[in-house]
Amino acid sequence: MTIEKEALSDVGAGVCCIIPPYVLDHLVQSSDARIRQIAVDAIANASAVRAVRATLAMMPAFAAVPSPAAKRHRLIYDAKNGGFNELPGHLIRSEGDPKTEDIAENEAYNYAGSTYNFYKSVFARNSLDDHGMTMISSVHLGRRLNNAFWTGEQMCYGDGDGRIFIRFTKSVDVVGHELTHGVISHTCNLVYSNEPGALNEHFADVFGSLVKQWRKRQTAKRADWLIGGDIMGPDTTAKSLRTFKAEKAYENDPLLGTDPQPKHLSNKYNGSGDNGGVHINSGIPNHAFYLAAMEIGGKAWEKSGQIWYKTMLKLTSTSQFNDMVVTSTESAATLYGNNSREHKAVTKAWKSVGF
């Protein structure tokens, strides 16, 4: 177990991964040696990207590869099961190229396009940096890798082990979530630890979910409000990685345990794990957004999303939960009027989760 303990102690600082460290920690304790090894491999890949991600977070503009015409430009690479040091891999598809016979390549291409189109259509934002940044993705990273992550300059997708998780390109909300980390780095650039890190994960979850809702043209009432529902494998009973609703995404799952996300400030995690609870405590503002969106009604990207986008642009790298509450409430008043339905909904939502 030495390698497993060492890997656990080294996981994830500053790495924007869709699979939280607490999930991998739980899998490492499995009685199944194969599951343990798959978890260790995922942790090792997260550790490999950590230094790169931390460096690029300090200078995001240098990581942005400009597109030829300063508009939507996607590049899809096949890592051919190679490791992080071999990225990006073999270029397989560029903007405008026909689809390939590989479903992961096509999903990465299509869902990156959906994310670009969402930000352009809803917020008039031109790619992640608002200047037409090329959206680079590598699929088939590693062998049976249970993760997807944003490195600071590109997206990487594992294929999953086929039991706990399947290919990570399958969930459009996962793609939207990870690419939104790129948007965050080019706006408020929230530090990836403690409350700022939880807000970082929160915005990624919010806009990842809104990309899915926008693509499906769903109202807030019809949306499932799940993150990662499409990547869950056959050997787990979990319906998703996270849920915005008051319920848990999974409970007493034989492989994943129980979803630890709190939905109220009184249950906030105060430990040092998960970079100070970045994936855990994001459940609190996530639930607030859900409550506000349901109260406002209609399509969540039209009003609730506008409030949250305006808030993201106003925050700084060290913003705390209280800054989020104040700024989002002010943004609602600025956009729709003081004591408007929208302003009241946001105020009520934050009070409901303990603020």
Closest CA to 57 of 132, 153, 134, 129: 153
Give SS3 for 48: helix
Catalytic residue among 95, 107, 153, 178: 178
C-alpha–C-alpha distance, residues 117 and 112, integer Å: 9
Cβ–Cβ under 8 Å, residues 155 and 175: yes
Q: Where are the beta strands (DSSP E) in the chain?
A: 16-17, 74-78, 90-94, 135-139, 148-150, 155-157, 226-227, 242-243
Known active-site residue 178: yes
Task: Give bridge partners of residue 274 from the DSSP assignment.
Answer: none
Known active-site residue 279: yes
Task: Give bridge partners of residue 93 from the DSSP assignment.
Answer: 76
Per-residue tokens: 6:
């060492």
Catalytic residue among 279, 287, 342, 343: 279
Cβ–Cβ under 8 Å, residues 256 and 29: no
Question: So which residues are the catalytic ones?
Answer: 178, 279
